[in-house]
Amino acid sequence: MAETPQADVIVLFGGAGDLARRMLLPSLYFLDSDGFLPEGFRLVATARSDMTRGAFLDMVRADLAARPEGLDETVWARFSARVEYVAADATSPEGVAALKPHLEGVRAPIFYLALSPSLYGRVCVALAAAGLASDESRIVLEKPIGRDLESSRVINVSVGAVFDEDRIFRIDHYLGKETVQNLIALRFANTLFEPLWNNLTVDHVQITVAETEGVGERWPYYDEYGALRDMLQNHMLQLLCLVAMEPPADMEPDSVRNEKVKVLRSLRRFTRADAQAASIRGQYTPGVVGGKTAKGYEEERGEPSDIDTFVALRADIDNWRWAGVPFFLRTGKRLPERRTQIAIQFKGVPHSIFGNAAKDDLTPNRLVIDLQPDEDIELLLMNKAPGITQGGIRLQSLPLSLSLLKAYQGPGARRRIAYERLLLDVIVGNSTLFVRRDEVEEAWRWVDGVADAWKEAGLTPKPYAAGSWGPAGAFALIERAGRAWYD
């Protein structure tokens, strides 16, 4: 294995696409603003559109100026000087050869594929044929890596034929979110939680990723994937892994990823009975979200579809730590609020010493980790309610709060884009927060099992009004297990 030098160029395929414009180019600009881009570092944006460098820069500048942070002219002068634009078809060696003059003498280029995954294999072949893929170059792949286990293997094999696994950076942008990394710190930089982090003390775990946005114009992509493959296979299973994994020996990429993959392998296979009793699919119909009327998915798409825009299910991890602890996962579009939250529900006290008056107030502890919209960690603890009462004390549950919001206050402070952390890691060659091939494939194996079980059970999406918390079955499935969602 060759050493990992700091990269000196990033080639951004799909450089004028939606992801590049909304996330990647602003992230690189902010990294430059904070002094993280190495001296001489260059950005070569490429797409097929015939555009001059000037026109490309005008577009990027307008995008940055429209952001709430505004444009800093000094940073822009430095950043724009790093940027080049090349019009090329990435899928042919002749097209990719147009990049060659821009990569003369470059030791460690990053090839970032912000392209449709169906092109990944051909782009890698073209890079190799054009002699641009060296053993120090890195390749960054956006999700989704395939649509199921088989198609993900095809992509992994074709990329792997050109780049070694330790040069492949599979992005799951949730791993770049501040609170997701804070979850690792919370678990492994404190002695407090680890002894409690198991089936002796934890009753269940809830992971919710709720979005108010609909699918809109993305439906041609979404209709092939649905909530199960678009969100649960990647972002939600990654969150589950970080909650459930054993402590890694260190933060080396493979130490962390070995532990995550063990969790994925321990997920109990979904059966037809689980599909019926422990999962629900939904699809939004017209409704009201945030006071505004919203179309149904069928109206957005123009015709009926049997894809899920909402999914809720119970996952079980068959290992010593988590046996008997259900993990309830739910995600959906057009829900009443934007919320990404992990809730660790602890068991109640074994015996109450407080008598009948306080019995109903005694609620078990809960650790709530909010990722979005605010980044916040709260531990709900029982306290004595202030004041005096006849016959004993009254209890109340109050949060011990670790508000990360405060960290964003003060001059110049801002909330980082998740891609900033990840791009910086690619530049320095640290793949801890990227997804290894076996992780992607294990996640697909489990998700394929869910999709097969749904098919066997004939489970179709149930309608839910935009602005509601999903179909009634989402409540029934958790209530059947004697628990309730925290809405």
- Which stretches of the chain bind ligand BG6, using CB under 6 A? 143, 211, 230, 340, 372
| Residue 109, binding choice from ligand NDP, ligand BG6, none, Cβ under 5 to 8 Å by partner class | none
CB nearer to ligand NDP: give 47 or 317.
47
173 is an active site residue: no
Question: Under rule CB under 6 A, how many of the chain's residues touch ligand NDP?
Answer: 21
Stretch in the footprint of ligand NDP (CB under 6 A) among 98-106, 141-149, 253-261, 366-374: 141-149
With residue 204 as reference, give the H or E element that holds it.
strand 202-210
Separation CA 159–CA 117 (nearest Å)? 11
- Residue 230 CB, nearest approach to ligand BG6 (Å): 5
CB nearer to ligand NDP: give 9 or 377.
9
CB nearer to ligand NDP: give 108 or 115.
115
Q: DSSP string spanning 135-196?
A: TT-EEEEPSP--SSHHHHHHHHHHHHTTS-GGGEEE--GGGGSHHHHHHHHHHHS-SSSGGG
Stretch in the footprint of ligand NDP (CB under 6 A) among 76-84, 137-145, 235-243, 402-410: 137-145
Q: How far is CA 305 from CA 75, 308, 407, 458, in A?
A: 47, 9, 44, 15
Pairing of strands 339-346, 287-289: unpaired
- Residue 88 CB, nearest approach to ligand NDP (Å): 6
49 is a contact residue toward ligand NDP (CB under 6 A): yes
Cβ atoms of 35 and 427 within 8 Å: the answer is no
Cβ atoms of 305 and 297 within 8 Å: the answer is yes
CB nearer to ligand BG6: give 340 or 341.
340
234 is a contact residue toward ligand NDP (CB under 6 A): no
* Residue that is written with structure tokens 């405060």 in the block: 406
| Tokens (6 digits) for 481 | 């297990």
Residue window 54-93: x/- pattern of binding to ligand NDP, with contact defined by CB under 6 A: -----------------------------------xxx--
Residue window 316-345: x/- pattern of binding to ligand NDP, with contact defined by CB under 6 A: ------------------------------
| Residue 230, binding choice from ligand NDP, ligand BG6, none, Cβ under 5 to 8 Å by partner class | ligand BG6
117 is a contact residue toward ligand NDP (CB under 6 A): yes
One of 47, 382, 427, 466 touching ligand NDP (CB under 6 A): 47
| Residue 211, binding choice from ligand BG6, ligand NDP, none, Cβ under 5 to 8 Å by partner class | ligand BG6
Q: Whose CA is closest to 89, among 46, 121, 124?
A: 46
CB nearer to ligand NDP: give 17 or 470.
17
| Residue 169, binding choice from ligand BG6, ligand NDP, none, Cβ under 5 to 8 Å by partner class | none
Q: Whose CA is closest to 427, among 34, 19, 17, 22?
A: 34
* Residue that is written with structure tokens 């799951």 in the block: 172
Cβ atoms of 263 and 241 within 8 Å: the answer is yes
> Minimal CB distance to ligand NDP: which residue?
17
CB nearer to ligand NDP: give 54 or 105.
54
Q: 5 preceded by cis ω (within 30°)?
A: no
Q: Cα–Cα–Cα angle for 14, 16, 19, nearest 5°?
A: 70
Separation CA 74–CA 279 (nearest Å)? 53
**Which positions from 5 through 34 interact with ligand NDP, judged by CB under 6 A?**
13-14, 16-20
- Residue 183 CB, nearest approach to ligand NDP (Å): 21
Q: Whose CA is closest to 470, among 314, 287, 326?
A: 287
- Residue 169 CB, nearest approach to ligand NDP (Å): 14
Cβ atoms of 83 and 57 within 8 Å: the answer is yes
Binding residues for ligand NDP, per CB under 6 A?
Answer: 13-14, 16-20, 47-49, 89-91, 114-117, 119, 142-144
**Could you give the residue numbers annotated as active site?**
235
